[in-house]
Amino acid sequence: MEILTIAVIGVLVVVLVNTAAPKLGVAAPLLLLALGVGASFLPFASEFTGVDPEWILGGILPPLLYSTAVNTPIMEFRRDFRTISTFSVILVIATAVIIGFLMTWLVPGLPLPLGIALGAILSPTDAVATSIVRRAGVSNRIVTVLEGEAMLNDASALVLLRSAVAAAAASVTLWEIALDFVYAVVVAVAVGWIVGQLNVWIRKRIHQEIPSVAMAIVIPFVAYIPCEHLNASGLVAAVVAGLVYGHHSAQKIDASVRLHEESVWRVIELLLESMVFLLMGLQLTQHIGQLHYAQRTLWEAVWLGAIAATVIILVRGIFVAFSIWRLSIIYRRHPHLRERLSELQQKLDDFDTEDITQYPHYQEALARGMHPAAQAARVNQVKKKLKRRINDLDYLAAERFNWKDGTVLVWAGMRGAVTLAAAQSLPFDIEYRPLLVTTAFIVAGGTLVLQGGLLPFLTRRLKVSGAPTDIRDQQMTDLRAELAAAAIAQLENPDLRRADGSEYSQGVRESAREHILINVHLAEIDYCQSSELRAEVNELRMALIEAQRDQLLQIRDEGQYPSRLLNIALKELDAEQIGTELKNPDFEDDE
């Protein structure tokens, strides 16, 4: 009963804090952390023995990382994967090694492997902490890089931590650590991809909202559990499964299912993220008590944490500066590369793939036994890749990082739940465990309060934001025009038929065309005619919505528009589809 009471009180506190935070102008995670710290000094908090790190690493983080991955735009993630991977692997290793040598110098008698273990604990940025970044109004590219880094750097840090702890007890070679890391990532990616594909395949065949969403909740653990038994990274597996599902869900999962799923995940994210920060604060007195028991002082942990946090920011600053400098060199080649790609694209556009004999390499391909239809498909595939690459270059040129963006990338590298959970996973027989755990808490809590609290002020001061409103509005107008053109093309398709094979009546076609041209959602049209006519209208609406969604997904793959605008357009189509289904006289509630 006590656990149930604490859980109910915790949920009520989370709701109240998240409701009051916008009015107070303070991020809800920071208020929850401060509230937890204050509550840790109350008499009843002395009975709080802390949270098993496995509950955080295996119970809270997999669904949070999975949910973040589902909503991560694959297009932007792919474009910045080089930067994300640099921050997720090289920066983690560099931070761990530098902190390791620093701690062995500052703490007499501390073995180097344990110093590196602390560095590995402190090195990953936190996926939960990036919720503060999203609310700060920074550009979508910064958010994508930070979320991508936070999703992937856990594997680097936890594998390095495991190897460092093993090295403290026995000799472990650098080669063994490298093999351990490669194995953990490769197996995790394979398991995550398989789980993601199975998730899409199975849920495509489940059309009831509640069973489908119920299955979605367990998918992160389906990816996580096998990897943990295989000594791989379950967190990376959960991320990969989320990326796979997020990429295919718009095409293969019913709109109503995706709408219900999104609502459920937002509730889960709110509760889990908030609980993490609240629990972090509640554990303060526990860490202080462990320090006194180990004959260490709180001030020793505070100044070690302050030094470590400062070094972490400096090392991150060097890496971010180097990455931006390297990207600036790459950017200088973009105009020349784009010109060459445009010329090649123009050559391919100069002839019609229907007449493949115009293709310069037609005779060579024919001699190799390639069928003309296969040649035409190959040409279209090359044209699509060229267009996507050109759009990539245009995106990177328009969203180029500058020193202001670099400042935000450095300052937004907060630590949080992963750091604290990893610290508590240290073996209890380690002499320096209380000091290392408390130092990790100081770094995690300090960076959240200091960096998270000042981040909104910093972004306002630097005037770092996304694209101007007028540009976004124009892009949205252009996107809607392309979707309308796809609907018109479907109306003019001579093969367009009803489910029973009959043609749509001319009056219904013309009415739909008129409403598309004046940019009115088809679902907003009210027909007072017979049920047969309403059924025909609804059937045509669904066919046109499907054509627009196919066009939207093709546009997404080409990368011409920002993912945020594509998501808005997709939500509009989903809402129109759901409204049409509800107006269908044959619609039945599957629940």
Q: Transcribe 17-34 into DSSP letters.
A: HHHHHHHHTS-HHHHHHH
Residue 320 has pLDDT above 70, yes or no: yes
Structural domain includes residue 573: yes
Most confident stretch, 179-183, 283-287, 468-472: 179-183
Same domain assignment for residues 91 and 123 = yes
User: pLDDT tier at 215 (50, 70, 90 boundaries)?
Assistant: very high
Structural domain includes residue 575: yes
- In Å, how far are 21, 29, 136 from 465, measured between CA atoms? 22, 22, 9
- Identify the residue with better confidence: 492 or 223: 223
Structural domain includes residue 590: no
Structural domain includes residue 331: no
The number of helix segments (H) and strand segments (E) in the chain equals: 25, 0
DSSP 173: -
Same domain assignment for residues 391 and 406 = no
pLDDT score at 534: 76
Of 414, 439, 466, the residue that ends a domain is: 466
Do 100 and 112 meet the contact criterion of CB atoms below 8 Å apart? yes
Mean pLDDT of 71-92: 89
Q: How many domains does the chain have?
A: 3
Question: Measured between alpha carbons, how far is 507 from 499 in angstroms, rounded to an integer?
Answer: 18
Question: Measured between alpha carbons, how far is 367 from 387 in angstroms, rounded to an integer?
Answer: 28
pTM over 0.95, yes/no: no
Do 495 and 173 meet the contact criterion of CB atoms below 8 Å apart? no
Supply the mean pLDDT for the chain.
82
User: pLDDT tier at 588 (50, 70, 90 boundaries)?
Assistant: very low
Same domain assignment for residues 18 and 84 = yes
Same domain assignment for residues 36 and 11 = yes
3-state secondary structure of 538: helix
Q: Which CATH number does the domain housing residue 69 bear?
A: 1.20.1530.20
Same domain assignment for residues 391 and 256 = no
111-146 pLDDT tens trace: 888 999 999 999 998 766 676 777 776 778 888 898
User: pLDDT tier at 533 (50, 70, 90 boundaries)?
Assistant: confident
Same domain assignment for residues 295 and 348 = no
Range of the domain at 202: 2-326+399-466
346-373 pLDDT tens trace: 777 665 555 555 555 555 555 555 555 5
Mean pLDDT of 104-110: 91
Same domain assignment for residues 381 and 407 = no
3-state secondary structure of 168: helix
